[in-house]
Amino acid sequence: MDTHLNFQAVPLGAAIGGPAVALGGLTLFFITEYVKDKKKKSSSFPPPPEVPGLPVIGNLLQLKEKKPHKTFKKWAETYGPIYSIKTGSNNMVVLNTSDVAKEAMVAKYSSISTRKLSNALKILTSDKSIVAVSDYNEFYKAAKRNLLTTTLGPNAQKKHGIHRDVMINNICKQLHDHVKTSSSVAVNFRKIFQSKLFGLSLKQAIGEDVESIYVEELGKTLSRQEIFKILVLDPMEGAIEVDWRDFFPYLKWIPNKSFEQKIQQMHFQRQAVMKALIEQQRKRMASGVEVNCYLDYMFSEANTFSEQQILMLLWEVIIEASDTTLVTTEWAMYELSKDQERQNRLLSEIQNVCGLNKLKEENLCQIPYLAAVFHETLRKHSPVPIVPLRYVHEDVQLGGYYIPEGTEIAINIYGCNMDQKVWDNPEEWKPERFLNGKDNTLELQKTMAFGGGKRVCAGALQAMLISCVAIGRFVQEFEWRLQDGEEENVDTLGLTTHRLHPLLTIIKPRK
């Protein structure tokens, strides 16, 4: 399951059902609509074009196939780069080109800096207690500063370089071991990469990779795989869980027990495991052993965050580091395994720079084709296809249209990165499009994949370092070929761009 916190979690598609509309709720709904309508009429800018939908449910049924980023792009062909839809009683404006997306993220950020969270995300993020979904406020500023200083900024990443080196060496070793024992069997690359990436995220967050832990509140010892499930897989699944009340907030007083129980259970288990991990590390700290990690900094005197905030911020680094980089690297290996010519070109460019030595992070700036493979993969398979929803908190003008306060904003990164006016044959995977010689090889913002403006991805540097070195080393050490039938195996999971089935490839060590 994806997400960069698939905290874009726009739980749009999905079964729409639920109880009969209650009279009180409806009255409130119509009054709100009337007030909005009056405001709209008093503005000198027109409202964006509307995608026609049905009364009460709006466009929900048209989104039920659960690939909102693709449906949004299709609508842009008819209604233009910016249009409005209705998800139940919510008004949402969708932005589909880099120009309007950048206008929203940079020039108009001050009017669109809050987040609108689904009910699932409210619980799973302890009501916005993590950087990625926090509103722009004092908590956000302090938490982001800490995150960059200790973990994700350039200096911190330099200090964590050793963990990345060890991780890539271990993955390559495991791939070689696989070939030694079962050379003709396709390798499930995801299984190996995901586990090592999780180990890295634990080291950066709490200072130690763990094999197991006793969790008092659950009354048992959990294996590493169980910890991964509770901290990463379950919340990602929960993040895209649909509560029909998200679409009809005026009915929020009606209970939705099965949904609440499921999400609360995920929240409870995540809390319990994080507390146990933190407790173990605090004992280490009390014994005088210091480690360069986020946790040690968070519990230093300099900090004023509450215990619950610290728990959530540490968890954020774990979940965010464990997934998007995997999604990108897996798609890159799919594309390269499918395209022997480009795989050979990459190999020869790596060999020209590294000779017989193993590729290192320091070499990246000398191998523009490797960076091009990374950016082209991010463009075509953006791991976060829709930016976590933003919320207009004061009337604003966007792309020449009037957008009233209270509107949700969906920035369709997939739409921006597949825009035919910007990208020639956008469906084609063609790294050469990034070899125009004008850009710095290590420039991170070549596509909209990392978002933009003040809220641009904080982990972009880490993602680039891990993914580029991994792709480079994999191609340097092995010849990659898709297992028969894999070429068509490109379904993605739910609302995400995560491959539904792990990539299966045949690998052969290079001589």
- Taking Cα atoms as reference points, which of 104, 163, 70 lies closest to residue 466? 163
CB of 185 to ligand HEM, least distance (A): 29
Residue closer to ligand HEM by CB (options 246, 320) is 320
CB of 148 to ligand HEM, least distance (A): 9
CB of 359 to ligand HEM, least distance (A): 19
Residue closer to ligand HEM by CB (options 62, 146) is 146
Angstrom distances, CA of residue 249 to CA of 244, 254, 358, 483? 9, 10, 55, 48
Tokens for 156? 């911190």
Residue closer to ligand HEM by CB (options 325, 343) is 325
The set of residues, in sequence order, having a beta carbon less than 8 Å from that of 369 and lying 6+ positions away, is 345, 346, 349, 431, 435
CB of 366 to ligand HEM, least distance (A): 22
Distance CA 511, CA 501 (A): 30
Residue closer to ligand HEM by CB (options 313, 506) is 313
Side-chain-side CA neighbours of residue 290 (13 Å): 6
CB of 113 to ligand HEM, least distance (A): 10
User: Where are the strands (E) in 143-272, listed by range?
Assistant: 187-188, 212-215, 220-223
Tokens for 236? 């990602």
Cα 364 to the chain's mean position, in Å?
A: 24
Residue closer to ligand HEM by CB (options 368, 385) is 385
CB of 29 to ligand HEM, least distance (A): 29
CB of 152 to ligand HEM, least distance (A): 6
* 492: phi then psi, degrees, rounded to nearest 5: -115, 165
Question: 3-class SS at 488?
Answer: coil
Distance CA 343, CA 348 (A): 9
Residue closer to ligand HEM by CB (options 278, 386) is 386
Q: Is 172 annotated as a binding residue?
A: no
Distance CA 242, CA 24 (A): 24
Read off the DSSP letter of residue 58.
Answer: B
CB of 126 to ligand HEM, least distance (A): 15
Residue closer to ligand HEM by CB (options 12, 314) is 314
Distance CA 193, CA 473 (A): 13
Residue closer to ligand HEM by CB (options 137, 265) is 137
Side-chain-side CA neighbours of residue 431 (13 Å): 20
Under 8 Å between Cβ of 329 and 196: no
- Chain position whose Cβ is nearest to ligand HEM: 459
Residue with tokens 């990659």: 480
CB of 105 to ligand HEM, least distance (A): 6
Distance CA 323, CA 233 (A): 9
* Alpha helices for 113-160 (secondary structure H): 119-124, 138-147, 154-159
Q: How many Cβ atoms from other residues are within 10 Å of residue 62's Cβ?
A: 19
CB of 157 to ligand HEM, least distance (A): 10
Residue closer to ligand HEM by CB (options 51, 82) is 82
Q: For residue 11, which amino acid is it?
A: P
- Taking Cα atoms as reference points, which of 338, 334, 420, 425 lies closest to residue 381? 334
| Burial zone of 119 (CB within 10 Å; 0-12 exposed, 13-18 middle, 19+ buried) | buried
Under 8 Å between Cβ of 409 and 93: yes
Cα 159 to the chain's mean position, in Å?
A: 24
Residue closer to ligand HEM by CB (options 422, 456) is 456
The binding site for ligand HEM (CB under 6 A) comprises 4, 105, 131-132, 144, 152, 317, 320-321, 324-325, 328, 378, 383-384, 387-388, 449-452, 455-459, 462-463
Task: Pick out the residues of the known binding site for heme.
Answer: 457
Task: Pick out the residues of the known binding site.
Answer: 457
